Structures are given as C-alpha cells and as structure tokens.
Chains A and B, each alone.
Chain A
Amino acid sequence: MSELEVIKLALGDKVSNIAWDLDGWVIRLKGSNLTNLKISRRLVGISFDWEWHFVTPLIIHEEVDEAGLHLYREMKRREVQIKRRGMLRYSYEWVTGELLTKVFPEITPESDLLVLLNRDGTLHRLLRRSSIDELYVNTYFELGVASLSDEALRKYYESPTMVGWLITAIKGPGSEWRFGAIVKRIYELLDYLAGKLLNFSRELESRLALL
C-alpha cells in the first residue's frame, strides 16, 4: 500500500480531495475544523531517517482590516509550542513559542492561550496518544523559501495578508510501519486543537472589540 493510500485509509470520509504539491500531499478535508492538511516527508539531517511534517493553516479572516491587523498582532503574542518530556511515555507542556521569543524579542508574550491549552485534559490525552515530537502554533504566514527567514517573518508581521494560525506538527523517525495510525491520531489531535484555537480566536476578537 502506498503512502497516499495509507493516508486515504487513515482519514476515511474526512477526505474531500488530495493533490500533490511540491514536496507533499495536500488533503482538502470535509466535516472538520481543518480546511486542508499538508503531509510531507523530510530527511532528518545527515541520517536517512524520515520525519513527517503535518502543516495546517487555520484562517480566521482572509482580508486584513485595522481590526484584523490588531487581532493578528495580539495572536502573535500568544504563539505557543509543546515541550516534550519523558522517554518511554511522554508528557507534554505548552510553552511560549520559540519563534516568537527569537524573532520578535520586543513583543511581550501573553499566556492566556498557553494556560488554556495546558489545562485541557483532552488535548493532553490526544498529545500522548499521538506521541508527537514537535508541535508549533504560530500566527499564519505565507509559506515559501523567503518566508523562512526572520526578515520575511517580520515583514509579514508588519503587513499580514490573512489573519489566522499555522499549526505544524512533526513526527520524528521510526513512523513508517505504523504510518496509518500516526496519520489518524495526529489528525485527531490537530482537529481538536484547531477547534480550541478557533474558539479562542473568536473570543479574543470579541475581547479586543470591547476595548
């Protein structure tokens, strides 16, 4: 069974359409908090091990007005990622995003999203179940070669074209022979996380509107 067929089987009736894009499969989803999910396989450094990247954008507004810009910058203060502990069985903790502190040292992080996620028992259960290696929740930015640089990130922060989140989950080496189960579990994790983030973003937007 090919990689693609395993993905189709794992996601079942959630799949609306699948297409190849540059370096991975882009899966358009239905009946889900996620609109689409990109699954790509990348080499880990010198070793020929593969790691799997699951990337999904979560768009809140497709156009950016002044309120949207404000929302985007407030969301930026809330970028988070997981910190993994343990050896045989992992435990997870949400912490402030590394990208935020490194690329935007002048921005003061806000901890409300982080606290919310850390208190969510279901989310922790899904994290442990997927045994994910890395998970990042960043504000949306355009993907592309240039956007990987710090400067491009700052540029996008100055004038974003869309407001939303970009969730990146990474599953490290040793996943090939249980790839189907991994895809399913990571999808469930991302779907649940996306739901939480959507609710949080709407609530944040309302709070900002009241100010």
Chain B
Amino acid sequence: MSAQAPSVIRGLTARSILIGAILVIVAQAIGDMTWLYTSKTGTINAFWLPFIYIVLLNELIGRTNPRLRLTAQELVCIFPALALVNSIKYYPKGALSGGEALSGYIEKTIVSVGAGMNDPTTGEYWRMMTPPWMFPKDPSMIAAWQTGLTPGQQILWGEFLPPIIYWSLYTILMYYLALFLGFGVWGRRWVDVERLIFPLSIPMIYMIRNASDIDPATNKSRWFRLQEPTLRVFWVAFFIGLIASLIPVFGEIVPPLAVFGAFAWGEQPILIFGLPSIMPGAMAKGVFQVDQVALWLLLPNNLLITAVLAYVVFGLLYQWIGVISGALPYNPGMEFLWNWEDIPANWFPFPYRHVGILGMMVGLGIITLITLRSRFVELARALRGRSEDEYGLSTRSIAWFGLIVTIAILALFTASGVPFIIALAMVVFAYIYWTALARVTATMWWHVDDFANNGGVGTYIFPLGVALGYWPATVPTTGTTNFGLFATGILTIPFNNTWTLRVNGFGPGAAVTYYKIARETGTNVRDALVAATTIIAIGVVFGYVWRIWLLNHAGGLANSNAWAWTAGMKFGNFIGGTAYVPIGATDWVPGLTYGLVGIIIVAVVWFLRSRFAWFFIDPTSLTMSMAVGLIWTWLSGLVALIIKVVLIRTIGVRRFESYVIPLAAGISLGFGAPILLAGLIEFFAVVLPRFSAQFVP
C-alpha cells in the first residue's frame, strides 16, 4: 500500500477543524449518555455512527456541490472525534466500546474517586484521603454523585472546577504521550522501515482512498465502480460482512442467544462443549471475531501459526496434562472461563498469562525500544536544532512535544503526591509497556492484557516504594494513610495500563494506527497530529463537564451504568491492602520471578527469529497470545490460517495478494455497518427514556 500513497496534502482546514470540534462534542454528548443509560452495556455503549456513514454522507454532499466535499485528508483530520469517543474497535469496523474510550478514562478517574467516597464500607476512608482537586469535599455533592440531585438542588460548579481541571489534564497528558510515541517514536520506523501491517488501519485506509478518488467527468467517487474487479470484490465482501453481522445481532442484541456472552459487536465466545470429556482441564473456549479473521488474512502464516501453537502447547497440553497428572487442581467448568478468571493461566506452577503480562510484554517493550534507540538520538538532535521534515511534521516539534508532555506528567504526578522516583518509574514503565502494546496492535490486534491491575503495580512499582522507604511493605486493609501511596494507587490506573488505556481510541496502539492512516492517505502528518490534539483537548474537557452534569441530573451512580466498582479496583491495588500474582502469591517475589522468565523467553524467541530463517515462532504473536491468556487469539488465528491456505491454494498467491485487502476491508466495514441501526433503536427506545425518567432539572 505504501507504493500507492499519494504525496502529503494538508487536511487541517477551517471546516475540518470546525466539523471535528462539533463532532466530538455531539459524539461525546450522545455517546456518554448512551454509555450511562443503555441496556446493551457491552455493545451499544458509545456513539453508534460508524465512519463509513460519514464517508457516504460526504459523497452525497459532494455530488450536490463538489466544493463541499471533504478531501481524504480532511476526513482523516475529523476521524479523531469519533475514534476518541468509541475506542480502538471503531478503527476496523466502527464498533463501540465506551469503557475503552474517553468515557472509560472518566470512569477510572473522577467517577472512581467519587464512587469510593460513597462506598458504604470504605467511604469514610476515601472522604478523608481524597484531596479537593480529585473530587469535591462538599457532602451534598458527594451524595448527589451517588443518587443524583434532589429537586431544587444545584451542582456546585465551583467545587467541581479543580477536579475538572485536574482530571482533564491527567487524561489529556495520557493521550498526548500516546500521540508523541505514536507520531514521534514508533510510527516512522514501523511504517517505513519495518513495514508492520497495521491490520486495524486497513479498512479505513481502503475506504478513504477509494471514496476520495473522484472521477472529474462525473463528479462521482470511483469507489462505486463495480466494473473494476477489486472494487467488485470489496462490495461483495461488504455484503458478506453485512450477513455476518447477524452473529452480533443474534449474539448480543436478540436476548435468547445473548446468553453466550458476546460483546463489542462480534467478540463472540465459542465454547467447545465436548472437549472437557476428552481432555479435562484443557481450555475449551475461544473468541471468534469476523473482522479479526478477515484482517488476519493479511498476516504472515508464522504469526497465525504461533498463535495457534501457543494454544495447543499451553491451553490444551499444559492444562490437560497438568490436571491429569495432579499438578493442577481440577475445578469443574474451568475449561470455559475467561482469561481474567480463575484459570490455570493465572496459577502456579506456570502462570503463563502473568509470564506474558509481567515478562514477555515488558521484554517486548524493552527490546522494541532498544531497536528504536537511534530514533531517540534523532529526536534528541532535533531538540538541539537538527530538525527534519517528516511528511509535514518537523522532528523538532514532535521532540519538544514529547519532552514537554513527559515533564508535565512527571510534574503532575509529583505535585499530586507521588514520590518523584515512583513517578519516574511509572513513566518508564509506561514507555516500556505502551511500546509493547503498540507493537502488538500494529502487528496483529488490540488483544493484550492489563499491566497495572494484573500484578504490574505489585511486582514493579509498589516494591520500589518499599525499597526506597516511601511506604511500608504491608498495607492495612482499612486503607493506607500514606498519601504518597494513595496518590500512586489512584494514578497508576489507568496510566500504567488497564483495558481503558490499551484499547482506547487514542491509546498507544490506536495512536500509531492513526499515524499509519495519515501516512497512507497522504495526509500531512502535522495536520493529523494537530487535529488529534485539538479534538482530544476539546473532547476531554467537555467529557468531564458533561459527565458531571449527567450524573447529577439523571440518577447518579446508583441509577446508571457508571462504573462505581472501579473504586474497589483502585482500593485493591495497594491503597487498601496488598495484591500479588499469580493467584496464591503472598508477596511480589513470584511475580518478579515469572516476569524475569517472560523477559528471557521473549528475548530468546526474538533472537532466534531474527537469526534463523527456519525459526517461525514470532515473538510478538507469542507475547500477545500468552499475555491475553490465549482465548482471544487462537480461534480467529486458526480460522484465518485455514481460509488463507485454502484461498492461496485455490486462487494462487498473486490473485490472493490482489484481492485480500478489498476482501478484508469489505468484510470488516460491512460487518460493522448495522451498528447504526442497532444504536438508533437502543438510543430512542431505551437510553432517552431512561434518562428522561430520571432527569431532575
């Protein structure tokens, strides 16, 4: 696709800025309301407008008046408005995941702290410890957070102003750090030198490039020219995707089949019911995702085989042999649980999920950063004046941007009460872990697991504070009174990665995917960056203000889908007790040991893969598989592998190569297209009525 990329064109225009700004406010307003009051919390939970409709609308407007048609580059510059609100799942198919988007950050910051202050058990502790810049101290505002305003009561905006500023800054800085790393550190190398595939970017790039190819004679987009074989393949695939969307319609929308627990428009768990009778203990669950299968047709075989092989070795053989030999206990039904539940992936003697999260991901991040060391040197030189223009973006600007953002994060954390060395460690781990997250996303998919609340804090950050004497090794279960630890506990989540960050619409993986989209659509990279930063700033501040208004005026935590439980998650991470991994660990030593094992594994696999052609195990694929407890990778990997082999064997590699991109893009976009209809129905039939029923003026 690189060879066909047009030259760099400006996308930041007065109208694209205006549309982007309006769109992010409208999207967050409707999206956050949907998030709070939907009955389909796993599926219709943000702003339900796939980007394909924006592109189609643009074509309709353009046919009426060509001057009003937005260019490809302008479309790229307004895209952040919807990506921010809808998560990374929006990129390939337009799917929504409010908890993994801006709303998710709001949940894990101000909502979480406000929920803690209302907690019947720990509320007093939270009210004592929470500073006024994290949440208002006024008891009436704390109470209204839980149940909403009483008639005649008003929001004390003055009380909320410091938390709005504080959490907006925290959230914006997280987004900006991801943008710096995506645009300044990872993007150029991964696109130009390593040529990573960026599967999530393919549908968007294909759609925008084709839709913006206008025939001057007819003033119509060539995207609809069915005479052209590849476009015909795209539209046939689009309709195949539409038909496949019956899977989420029946699996997530229509109640009788929704029992299988699918969510996020097509993340469909498949249970192999017969397997436990043959191989007790072996993992009998896999997630099937149509768009993932379609886009994984683009992946090299060895990545797919690695994902499948990891399942065979760890999910099947290790768990089965472990159970029948007595090395692992047998719990009936353990074969069908999720990766975050009580499964052998989280148990002694070989907790492969923790090996993946604490070791392999950390190792992958370190190795990747080492391979990028010359990029840091380039940026350092640019700071001193040797700047280069990279597709419109000067290396000096991005280097200063990164430096300022990094220093601002350190300053914010330190000013919040986090000891400076700990703040530094948090930033270092963010650089490492975010790099691994982005690499996995750019190579394969968004499925990896959380660092902070899966032992990352307990294994690496908490012991550092103990060693430096910042806090004691044992935390009282009633809650620490050490403010340094309290602030650290509050700020590590989501900064040091929970799902809200890793799958965010502008988290690490998404930021670099957006860079790829900008590059492949010939968009001036500086324009894309400025558009994203502007939209993020507007969206975040509006998001906090809007959420405060919504919760206060329409039912509070108790009468909405707000994640009050995230207070417990923060409390469990070293504010109110100690939590270690794997299950059963009583201190950080096992976590550190398995982390080291993981780092060694990924280093050895990386070395072998880069040294020997025959060594087909891919370190990124293996890391992703293990870190996400296998469930999210093996089934889609196996299906993609089979389809790919069959297609190559039947139509040959050359034709496969010509058609695979329109095929994958078409299936993904078609698969996500009905979200609009489902969203409209849910919004008008459920969300608005629930909101109005609870509305207190």
Q: Which A residues are closer than 8 A to B by beta carbons?
A: 1-3, 6, 41, 43-51, 84, 86-88, 90, 133-134, 172-174, 176-177, 179-180
Q: Are B302 and A176 in contact, CB atoms less than 8 angstroms apart?
A: yes
Q: Are B661 and A46 in contact, CB atoms less than 8 angstroms apart?
A: yes
Query: Shortest CB–CB separation between residue B441 and chain A, in angstroms?
Result: 15
Q: Are A176 and B660 in contact, CB atoms less than 8 angstroms apart?
A: no
Q: Are B1 and A176 in contact, CB atoms less than 8 angstroms apart?
A: no
Q: A46-B657, A51-B653, A133-B652 are in contact. List 19 more A-B contacts (CB 8 A).
A: A1-B614, A3-B612, A3-B613, A6-B614, A45-B660, A46-B197, A46-B660, A47-B197, A47-B298, A49-B301, A84-B652, A87-B649, A172-B648, A174-B301, A176-B614, A177-B614, A179-B613, A179-B614, A180-B614
B300: Cβ under 8 A from any A Cβ: yes
A176 neighbours in B (Cβ, 8 Å):
302, 613-616
B645: Cβ under 8 A from any A Cβ: yes
Q: Are B612 and A1 in contact, CB atoms less than 8 angstroms apart?
A: yes
Query: Which residue from A1, A41, A46 sits with its C-beta under 8 Å from B1?
Result: A46
Q: Which B residues are closer than 8 A to A by beta carbons?
A: 1, 195, 197, 298-303, 611-616, 645-646, 648-650, 652-653, 657, 660-661
Query: Shortest CB–CB separation between residue A49 and chain B, in angstroms?
Result: 4
Query: Shortest CB–CB separation between residue A27 and chain B, in angstroms?
Result: 15
Give chain A's interface secondary structure class.
loop
Nearest neighbor of A43 in chain B, beta-carbon distance:
B195
Closest 3 CB pairs of A and B: A45-B657, A3-B613, A48-B300
Q: How far is the CA of A49 from the CA of B1 in the complex (A)?
A: 15
Query: Shortest CB–CB separation between residue B309 and chain A, in angstroms?
Result: 11
A86 neighbours in B (Cβ, 8 Å):
649
B648 neighbours in A (Cβ, 8 Å):
172-173
B300 neighbours in A (Cβ, 8 Å):
47-50, 173
A88 neighbours in B (Cβ, 8 Å):
649
Which of B302, B614, B645, B648 is the most central at the interface, judged by chain A CB atoms within 10 Å of its CB?
Answer: B614
Query: Which residue from B613, B645, B660, B661 sits with its C-beta under 8 Å from A2?
Result: B613
Give chain B's interface secondary structure class.
helix
Query: Which residue from A2, A133, A180 sits with its C-beta under 8 Å from B653?
Result: A133
B303 neighbours in A (Cβ, 8 Å):
48
Tell whether A177 pairs with B1 under 8 Å between CB atoms, given A45-B657, A87-B646, A133-B653: no
Tell whether A172 pairs with B197 under 8 Å between CB atoms, given A41-B613, A48-B299, A49-B301: no
Which of B1, B303, B613, B648 is the most central at the interface, judged by chain A CB atoms within 10 Å of its CB?
Answer: B613
Query: Shortest CB–CB separation between residue A167 and chain B, in angstroms?
Result: 18
Q: How far is the CA of A150 from the CA of B195 in the complex (A)?
A: 29
Q: How far is the CA of A179 from the CA of B613 in the complex (A)?
A: 8
Tell whether A87 pairs with B650 under 8 Å between CB atoms, given A47-B300, A174-B301: yes
Q: How far is the CA of A38 from the CA of B652 in the complex (A)?
A: 23
Q: Are B301 and A2 in contact, CB atoms less than 8 angstroms apart?
A: no
Listed A/B pairs (8) with beta-carbon separation below 8 Å: A2-B612, A2-B613, A47-B197, A48-B299, A49-B300, A51-B653, A86-B649, A176-B302
Query: Shortest CB–CB separation between residue A50 and chain B, in angstroms?
Result: 7
Query: Shortest CB–CB separation between residue A109 and chain B, in angstroms?
Result: 21
Q: How far is the CA of A87 from the CA of B298 in the complex (A)?
A: 20
Nearest neighbor of A4 in chain B, beta-carbon distance:
B613
Q: Are B645 and A47 in contact, CB atoms less than 8 angstroms apart?
A: no
Q: How far is the CA of A87 from the CA of B643 in the complex (A)?
A: 12
B653 neighbours in A (Cβ, 8 Å):
44, 51, 133-134, 172-173
Query: Shortest CB–CB separation between residue A130 and chain B, in angstroms?
Result: 15
Nearest neighbor of A47 in chain B, beta-carbon distance:
B298
Q: How far is the CA of A86 from the CA of B646 in the complex (A)?
A: 10
Query: Shortest CB–CB separation between residue A124 and chain B, in angstroms?
Result: 18
Q: How far is the CA of A18 from the CA of B554 in the complex (A)?
A: 77
Query: Which residue from A6, A45, A47, A84 sits with its C-beta under 8 Å from B299?
Result: A47
Tell whether A46 pairs with B298 under 8 Å between CB atoms, given A84-B652, A133-B652: yes
A49 neighbours in B (Cβ, 8 Å):
300-301
Which of A1, A6, A177, A180 is the most central at the interface, judged by chain B CB atoms within 10 Å of its CB?
Answer: A177
A48 neighbours in B (Cβ, 8 Å):
195, 197, 299-300, 303
Q: How far is the CA of A50 from the CA of B301 in the complex (A)?
A: 9
Q: How far is the CA of A2 from the CA of B302 in the complex (A)?
A: 17
A6 neighbours in B (Cβ, 8 Å):
613-614
Query: Shortest CB–CB separation between residue A60 and chain B, in angstroms?
Result: 30
Q: How far is the CA of A177 from the CA of B301 in the complex (A)?
A: 11
A84 neighbours in B (Cβ, 8 Å):
652
Q: How far is the CA of A55 from the CA of B646 in the complex (A)?
A: 27
A180 neighbours in B (Cβ, 8 Å):
614
B650 neighbours in A (Cβ, 8 Å):
87
Nearest neighbor of A41 in chain B, beta-carbon distance:
B613
A45 neighbours in B (Cβ, 8 Å):
657, 660
Q: Are B657 and A47 in contact, CB atoms less than 8 angstroms apart?
A: yes
